[in-house]
């Protein structure tokens, strides 16, 4: 089970109920060598070391670059700093740390005497995406503060954050400019999402006015013009029926509400977050683990994902990563395995699909692309959040956020609990955590075989909890030191809990039946053709057709037995290549995360296939 009881904030002001320094369990060490490790290190090398980008991000604050179009260039620094710090927490790459330290020092030098750190001038401030960008300044600096090894630099960061937030509070709040009037977009929920770093800065400093400001923001979002927190608490509407349905910004507000609950202990807000997250899971998350099947908006994506009448962009990478972060928050808060299932689905399908490992980087593209189709289409048709940041350089919001997504499952693969450890994600490598040092061997998600060997253990009875995904089939088996243990596959995610006195050399063999099955669409009533599709899931992987391997767009039989057989990749860059036998036909398919990687018609792709 994930962390259940509060862990005190590391602050001179003592315990204020903050549970886990955001949502990653940073105790112990993890050294993996599998798929997740390779993706994180690719991103680290190809993106996070770019000193040119870091310098350009900070330069936006020195020239008020967002004045002309009231844009969001100010988000890039903090958004990528957060992901870079999370990546460093895993890799511990000394060279990366030095790059980030230099970037933070450069940002501190950009602060104005008044305390402002903004890409807007005073004449234009508190409009557009100014508060949103100031939020990301805070998040980036707070994340580096967590890993900073210099007490003097930590103090400089803290003082800069105090002045930065004090300036905002001097201008925004009760009797001043209302926070939901500091943006011209989305009824101000983008501005109000600053709730998260405001609470985190309160945790760091104990300054009461910051908690007061957080309470004011919660009140605006609960009982103001959008009342999204109240709607989630009442749980009568689904999120796509809210007054504002911008997926990324809504999720960001609820991340802040989790932090507020952790400080105050006000149970109604925990309930509201759980209601919201579970409702999004039920009504809007697609087969690949993202949301927003009409542009970047919640729109009942579980049904509309197969609506052929819409041909625009869908499934924003910013939504994928923020959904993963929200689920990680609830994984730690509730200990429910379903949130780990959600993270894995999104990571292996939507997020891995957005990582461009096949030449796009060298061809002038980004490490991450922005939008992913599930019907027949081309990946990366548009750069999300595109903004020019110099005469020869531009950037995008999805590119900046991606590294937080590639680091998150690595930091949460093995977590310590009050009773022992919990293994949420299966990845070859080693971990030393919670009194255990273990070695894990697996080729997950290609097959379901996992071997865990204990090299060191703490004395006494301790629990090892192993995630059993919802898709696990009846053939799943578990052996401890050669003795079979009972496993119940109920169709819902759970943990198998093994509690005993462990010894060095003990071995756990878990074989999860990946149980391939057909997915049928919910569809929309107005378009009966939206139900004439089928998709194939193999374990946590959604499979796709790709034009590089054979026909796409041709209807398939959806009747008869389904058989999925992994085959040799034959030099094709993918995680899994499989022969899929369906309705008397044989299809050459690959994992969705590897499909479409040419950004053009050469790799037209589809997860949902039309049926005959």
Residue 371 CA: distances (Å) to CA of 43, 314, 522: 18, 6, 22
- Residue spans of alpha helices (H) in 335-438: 337-345, 352-354, 397-411
Q: Binning pLDDT at 50, 70 and 90, where does residue 360 land?
A: low
Cis geometry, peptide bond prior to residue 445 (ω within 30 degrees of 0): yes
pLDDT classification of 451: cutoffs 50, 70, 90: very high
Mean pLDDT rounded to a whole number for the chain = 93
Among the residues of 316-469, which ranges form H helices?
Answer: 317-334, 337-345, 352-354, 397-411
- Residue 7 pLDDT: 26
Q: Among residues 461, 463, 453, 467, which one has the least CA distance to residue 496? A: 467
| pLDDT above 90 as % of the chain | 91
Q: 391: which 2 tokens?
A: 């005469």
Dump pLDDT digits (tens) for 243-296.
999 999 999 999 999 999 999 999 999 999 999 999 999 999 999 999 999 999
Rounded to whole angstroms, how far apart are CA atoms 140 and 128? Answer: 20
**pLDDT at residue 114 is higher than 80:** yes
What are the backbone dihedrals phi and psi of residue 348, each rounded to the nearest 5 degrees, phi first? -70, -25
pLDDT band at 359 (very low <50, low <70, confident <90, very high): low
pLDDT of amino acid 28: 79
Predicted confidence at residue 357, as pLDDT, reads 82
Name the more confident of 17 and 149.
149
pLDDT score for 107 = 98
Q: Given pLDDT bands bounded at 50, 70 and 90, which one contains residue 381? A: confident
Inform me whether the pLDDT recorded for 14 exceeds 60: no
Residues 440/452, Cβ–Cβ less than 8 Å:
yes
Taking a C-beta distance cutoff of 8 angstroms, is the pair 423, 413 a contact?
yes
- The length of the chain, given as a count of residues: 612
461-468 and 420-423 strand pairing: parallel
Confidence of residue 551 (pLDDT cuts 50, 70, 90): very high
Q: What are the pLDDT digits (tens) for 25-50? A: 556 789 999 999 999 999 999 999 99
| Torsion angles phi and psi, residue 431, rounded to 5 | -145, 140
CB-CB contact of 564 with 536 (8 Å) = yes
Q: Which structure tokens are listed for 189?
A: 């929920």
Nearest to residue 463, comparing CAs of 441, 487, 435?
A: 435
* DSSP structure class, residue 186: G
pLDDT band at 364 (very low <50, low <70, confident <90, very high): low
Query: Which runs of consecutive H residues, i.e. helices, occur in 351-396?
Result: 352-354
Structure tokens at 425: 């994600």
| C-alpha distance from residue 463 to each of 37, 82, 109, 498 (Å) | 26, 32, 48, 5
pLDDT at site 407: 98
Q: E strands of 95-190, at which residues?
A: none
Whether pTM exceeds 0.75: yes
Q: Residue 142: name the closest of 90, 213, 81, 57 by CA.
A: 81
**Helical segments of 384-483, H only:** 397-411
CA dist list (Å): 240 to 254, 292, 302, 318, 391: 15, 9, 11, 17, 39
23: pLDDT strictly greater than 90: no
Nearest C-alpha neighbor of 545 from the set 596, 610, 606: 606
Going from N- to C-terminal start, the domains of the chain cover 419-511, 525-610
Q: Angle of helix 151-171 relative to helix 195-205, nearest 10 degrees?
A: 130
> For the residues 314-334, what does the mean pLDDT come to?
97
Q: Name the region of 75 (left: φ>0; alpha: ψ -120 to 50; beta: rest).
A: alpha
pLDDT at 246: 98
CB 413 within 8 A of CB 469: no
DSSP 8-state class, residue 537: E
Question: pLDDT confidence of 559, banded at 50, 70, 90?
Answer: confident
Band (pLDDT 50/70/90 cuts) for residue 365 is confident
Of residues 405 and 5, the one with the higher pLDDT is 405
Q: In this structure, are residues 164 and 117 in contact, taking their beta carbons and an 8 Å threshold?
A: yes
Nearest to 467 by CA among 347, 342, 286: 342
**What pLDDT sits at residue 96?**
98
What DSSP element (H or E) covers 501? Answer: strand 494-501
pLDDT tens digits along 53-73: 999 999 999 999 999 999 999
The CATH number corresponding to 419-511 among 1.10.287, 2.60.40, 3.40.50, 2.40.10 equals: 2.60.40
Q: What is the pLDDT of residue 24?
A: 45
Q: Is the pLDDT of residue 16 over 50?
A: no
Report whether pLDDT(454) > 50: yes
**Cα 151 to the center of its chain, rounded Å:** 30
Per-residue pLDDT, averaged over 126-133, amounts to: 98
Q: Over range 446-451, report the average pLDDT.
A: 97
């Amino acid at each position: 089970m994930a962390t259940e009881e509060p862990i005190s904030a590391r602050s001179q002001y003592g315990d204020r109920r903050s549970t886990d320094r955001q949502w990653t369990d940073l105790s112990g060490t993890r050294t993996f060598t599998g798929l997740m490790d390779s993706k994180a290190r690719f991103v680290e090398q190809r993106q996070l070391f770019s000193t040119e980008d870091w310098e350009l991000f900070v330069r936006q604050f020195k020239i008020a670059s967002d004045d002309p179009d009231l844009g969001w260039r100010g988000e890039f620094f903090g958004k990528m700093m957060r992901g870079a710090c999370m990546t460093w927490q895993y890799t511990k790459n000394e060279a990366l740390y030095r790059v980030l330290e230099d970037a933070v020092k450069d940002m501190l030098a950009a602060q104005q005497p008044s305390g402002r750190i903004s890409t807007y001038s005073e004449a234009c401030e508190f409009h557009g995406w100014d508060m949103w960008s100031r939020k990301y300044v805070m998040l980036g600096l707070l994340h580096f503060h967590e890993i900073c090894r210099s007490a003097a630099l930590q103090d400089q960061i803290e003082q800069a954050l105090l002045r930065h937030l004090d300036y905002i509070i001097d201008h925004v709040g009760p009797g001043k400019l209302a926070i939901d009037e500091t943006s011209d977009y989305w009824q101000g929920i983008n501005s109000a999402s600053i709730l998260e770093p405001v609470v985190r800065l309160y945790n760091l400093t104990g300054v009461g006015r910051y908690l007061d400001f957080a309470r004011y923001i919660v009140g605006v979002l609960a009982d103001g013009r959008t009342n999204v927190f109240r709607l989630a608490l009442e749980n009568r509407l689904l999120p796509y029926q809210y007054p504002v349905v911008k997926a990324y910004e809504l999720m960001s507000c609820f991340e802040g509400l989790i932090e507020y609950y952790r400080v105050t202990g006000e149970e109604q807000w925990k309930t509201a977050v759980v209601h919201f997250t579970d409702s999004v899971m039920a009504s809007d998350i697609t087969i690949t683990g993202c949301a927003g099947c009409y542009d970047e908006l919640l729109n009942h994506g579980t049904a509309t994902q197969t609506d052929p009448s819409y041909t625009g962009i869908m499934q924003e990478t910013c939504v994928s990563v923020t959904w993963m972060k929200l689920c990680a928050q609830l994984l730690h808060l509730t200990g429910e395995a379903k949130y780990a299932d959600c993270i894995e689905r999104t990571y292996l399908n939507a997020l891995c699909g957005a990582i461009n490992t096949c030449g796009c980087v060298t061809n002038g593209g980004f490490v991450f692309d922005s939008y992913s189709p599930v019907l027949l289409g081309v990946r990366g048709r548009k750069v999300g959040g595109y903004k020019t940041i110099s005469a020869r350089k531009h950037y995008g919001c999805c590119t900046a956020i991606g590294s937080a997504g590639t680091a998150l499952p690595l930091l949460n693969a093995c977590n310590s609990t009050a009773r022992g450890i919990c293994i949420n994600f299966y990845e070859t490598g080693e971990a030393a955590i919670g009194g255990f040092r273990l070695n894990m061997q697996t080729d997950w998600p290609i097959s379901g075989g996992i071997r865990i060997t204990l090299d060191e253990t703490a004395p006494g009875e301790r629990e090892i909890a192993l995630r059993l995904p919802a898709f696990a089939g009846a053939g799943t088996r578990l052996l401890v030191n050669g003795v079979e243990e009972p496993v119940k596959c109920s169709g819902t995610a759970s943990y198998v809990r093994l509690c005993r006195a462990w010894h060095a050399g003990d071995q756990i063999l878990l074989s999860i039946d990946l149980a391939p099955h057909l997915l049928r669409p919910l569809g929309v009533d107005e378009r009966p053709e939206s139900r004439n599709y089928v998709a194939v899931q193999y374990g946590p992987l959604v499979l796709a057709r790709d034009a590089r391997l054979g026909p796409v767009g041709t209807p398939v039989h959806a009747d008869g037995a389904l058989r999925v057989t992994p085959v040799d990749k034959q030099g094709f860059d993918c995680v899994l290549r499989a022969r899929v036998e369906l309705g008397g036909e044989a299809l050459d398919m690959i994992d969705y995360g590897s499909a479409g990687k040419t950004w053009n018609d050469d790799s037209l792709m589809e997860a949902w296939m039309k049926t005959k």
